[in-house]
Structure 1
Amino acid sequence: MRKRLIAVIMACAMSVSAGMVPVWADEEPIYWEFVTDGTEGLPVETAAHPYDFVLDRTITNKTEKFCVVYDNSGAVINPEYENASLIIKANGKILFQKKCTTPEGLTVGNMDVQIPKQKTGTKIQIYLQSQSWKSNVKTMKVKNINMLLLSNRTDKIKKPQLTHKGYRDYIKGIKGQSLVISNGKRIVKTIKFKEDNPAYDITNLLINNRWNSELFLYIKQGKKYSKGYVYFPLEIAIAE
Structure 2
Amino acid sequence: MKKHHFNLIELLVVIAIIAILAAMLLPALNKARESARKIECNNRIAQVLKGTLLYGDDNEEWIVTHRSGVMWGTFLEDGRYIPQKVMACPSLTGTAGSWFHRTYGIYRFDLDERKYYNARKEQYGDFAVKGPGDQLYYSLRRLKQPTGTLLYADTYITTGSRMGSGEWTFNPCVFVEEGAVSLHHGGTSNTGYADGHVESANSAVLRGMGFTKLIENGTQRSY
Question: Which TM-score bucket, shorter chain as reference?
Answer: under 0.3
Greater fraction of residues in helix: 2
Greater fraction of residues in strand: 1
Select the structure of larger CA radius of gyration. 1
Q: What TM-score does the superposition give when structure 2 sets the normalisation length? A: 0.24
- Which one has more relative contact order, counting CA pairs under 8 Å at least 6 apart? 2
Q: What TM-score does the superposition give when structure 1 sets the normalisation length? A: 0.22
